[in-house]
């Protein structure tokens, strides 16, 4: 079951029974909604500018959230923003900056919360 509500600007919000939402133009074309993704990136990802490179990529994509090193040698990131842009950053994280060697990426999708106003390196 999908529900659509038309707004004055000709764009409505659509939500399906799985909880996935997005914007719908009056023409019926679906645009991406906001999502939240939690990543754990493993491999040679510390000491190779992974966090700063991730932050710069996120800022260029107008995403919010944070990235940090973990004691086990992995990097963790929490990303929020438009689905399209989040997917671009996740794809970038699976490779990382030139000196990195990513061996595995764990991903958990969550409901967008709009919790952040910027993308930061946290400690």
Which of the residues are catalytic? 51, 69
- Reported in sequence order, the residue ranges of 17-70 that DSSP labels E, i.e. its strands, are 21-25, 30-32, 34-44, 64-69
Q: What is the CA radius of gyration of the chain?
A: 16
Instruction: Give the angle subtended at the CA of 44 by the CAs of 119 and 53, to the nearest 5°.
Output: 25
């Amino acid at each position: 079951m999908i529900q659509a509500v038309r707004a004055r600007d000709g764009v409505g919000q659509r939500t399906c029974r799985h909880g996935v939402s997005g914007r719908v133009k009056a023409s019926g074309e679906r645009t991406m909604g906001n999502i939240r993704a939690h990543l754990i990136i493993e491999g040679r990802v510390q000491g190779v500018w992974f966090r700063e490179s991730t932050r710069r990529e996120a800022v260029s994509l107008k995403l919010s959230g944070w990235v940090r090193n973990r004691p086990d040698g992995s990097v963790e990131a929490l990303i929020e923003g438009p689905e399209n842009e989040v997917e671009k950053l996740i794809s970038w994280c699976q490779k990382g900056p030139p000196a990195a060697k990513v061996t595995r990426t764990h991903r958990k999708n969550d409901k967008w919360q709009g919790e952040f106003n910027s993308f930061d390196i946290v400690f």
